[in-house]
Amino acid sequence: MTFIGMPRGTGNLTGAPFPEAASEALDNAQLRRNLAKATGTIRAKRAAVVDELPDWAALRAAGAAIKDDVLANLDTYLLRFEAALTERGSTVHWARDAEEATRIVTELVTATGAREVIKVKSMATAEIGLNEALAAAGVAAVETDLAELIVQLGHDRPSHILVPAIHRNRAEIREIFAEGMGATDLTDDPRVLAEAARAHLRRKFLTVDVAVSGANFAIAETGGLVVVESEGNGRMCLTLPRTLISVVGIEKIIPAWQDLEVFLQLLPRSSTGERMNPYTSVWTGPTEGQTSHVVLVDNGRTATLADPDGRAALRCIRCSACLNSCPVYERTGGHAYGSTYPGPIGAVLSPQLTGIDRNPTLPYASSLCGVCYDVCPVAIDIPSMLVHLRGRAPKPRAEAAAMRAAAWAMSDHRRWRRLLRAGRLGRALGRRPMLPPPLSAWTRARDLPEPPRQTFRDWWDTR
């Protein structure tokens, strides 16, 4: 159900058709090695810290229930959040879509006269294409998350929610840093690379006066925003500059402070495989001498909320466990999904936000193996949602005709048995026939089973 006027998601949410983009990525052996290694390590860490919690199932159910309550009462919670935050001295802005959100932020930044902003790692700003919009206005956005910095200096795109440079290995990172920072004395040692990034960023922290952040959670009761991170660079951005602009998807709401108890257990264990992440920053309105703006972004979320089969996607806390566990993601990497949100959740969320017509291939980018549902800390049944989305996806004509014919045969046993008997004639084709597309996709890499002399049912009748 979509109501007239409900904004659809715009910005960085679409790309080339998945099958073609995936084929290209699959040809990159280095990428596959990097991904297999990185996701394998993080999967093992996650499994260890999740298995040690006796009440994981209860925590997961609680996380899902809290988010479902938020989604059912989102209007109330958002207004409560706005009122609390306004009272604490922040200015709240509302943005329908990517264009409106980037325009608001760009105007706020240019009003300060700044030519540079420092950024806390944020999915929402990537989704709306903020860096590109700021660049067009002559403002440089500097990413301060180490992996985001690698992506930015490499003129690359993020390929993972949590580790945007997961497709890069150390040697590649050294080259990117050498080029991007003009550093000549680097080695592949992670400590050396981290030190180079630290020196580079320290200069920015001390000179840039505007920061842009996202938020992992927005607390309706208090107006508080929460950023969960590993490096502490986000905290530098949140505290040093005099202007802080936070871009927050409207589904990031949690009702109250105490709900963090649940999510701060679910999130780090699911994302980095840690019991607790090193830095959790919570701020409620501006600190003394600071100006704070919060931009609440819809960009297709209300439309997603209106869809009973799709709204659970808004529970997502962007932990990336589903990406790390997905056998498709592990082989294709994140770029193949063409959206800020890759992996299983991206295959659901991107078409939900943009509408299926702008993302028709993503719902099929899954073997429906179900491992994403198993690991999701807020129990999003991604496979079932993919199946629902497939129901709405535009279908190739020949496929639709074949499926209609098959359904006609399969809904009556006499027709079906006649078809199967005819199929035995396929014996003449042998095991490696040249089949027309799309069936040729099967025989490129696999032999066909030889059709038997007799179907099971014909055998049964002779017994």
**Residues in contact with another protein by the rule CB under 8 A:** 18-19, 22-23, 26, 32, 327-328, 331-332, 363-371, 373-374, 387, 389-393, 395, 399-400, 403-404, 406-407, 409-413, 416, 420, 423, 431-432, 438-439, 441-442, 444-449, 451-452, 454-457, 459-460
Q: Per rule CB under 6 A, is residue 362 in the interface with ligand SF4?
A: no
| Residue 190 site contact among another protein, ligand SF4, none (CB < 5 to 8 Å, cut-off depends on kind) | none
Give strand pairing partners of 212. Answer: 119, 245
Structure tokens at 105: 């932020």
* Three-state secondary-structure class, residue 291: strand
Binding segment (CB under 6 A) for ligand SF4, from list 2-10, 50-58, 128-136, 377-385: 377-385
Give min distance, CB of 317 to ligand SF4, in A.
Answer: 5
| Residue 365 site contact among ligand SF4, another protein, none (CB < 5 to 8 Å, cut-off depends on kind) | another protein
Binding pattern to ligand SF4, positions 297-316, x when CB under 6 A? Answer: -------------------x
| Residue 378 site contact among ligand SF4, another protein, none (CB < 5 to 8 Å, cut-off depends on kind) | ligand SF4
Nearer to another protein, 261 or 461 (CB): 461
First to last CA, the chain: 53
Say which residues have a Cβ less than 8 Å from residue 397's Cβ, sequence separation at least 6: none
| Residue 28 site contact among another protein, ligand SF4, none (CB < 5 to 8 Å, cut-off depends on kind) | none
What is the β-pairing status of strands 279-283 and 116-119?
unpaired
What does the alpha-carbon distance between residue 104 and residue 32 come to, in Å, rounded to a whole number? 39
Using alpha carbons, select from 387, 399, 297, 300 the residue that is nearest to residue 344: 387
Instruction: Identify residues 251-280 at the interface with ligand SF4 (CB under 6 A).
Output: 270
What does the alpha-carbon distance between residue 246 and residue 319 come to, in Å, rounded to a whole number? 20
| Residue 319 site contact among ligand SF4, another protein, none (CB < 5 to 8 Å, cut-off depends on kind) | ligand SF4
Using alpha carbons, select from 436, 297, 404 the residue that is nearest to residue 353: 297
What does the alpha-carbon distance between residue 238 and residue 18 come to, in Å, rounded to a whole number? 37
Among 104, 226, 345, 365, binds ligand SF4 (CB under 6 A): 345
Q: Per rule CB under 6 A, is residue 62 in the interface with ligand SF4?
A: no
Nearer to another protein, 16 or 369 (CB): 369
Which H or E element spans position 110?
helix 98-112
Structure tokens at 299: 């960009």
Which H or E element spans position 40?
helix 29-51
Residues at the site binding ligand SF4, with contacts judged by CB under 6 A: 270, 316-322, 345, 375-378, 380
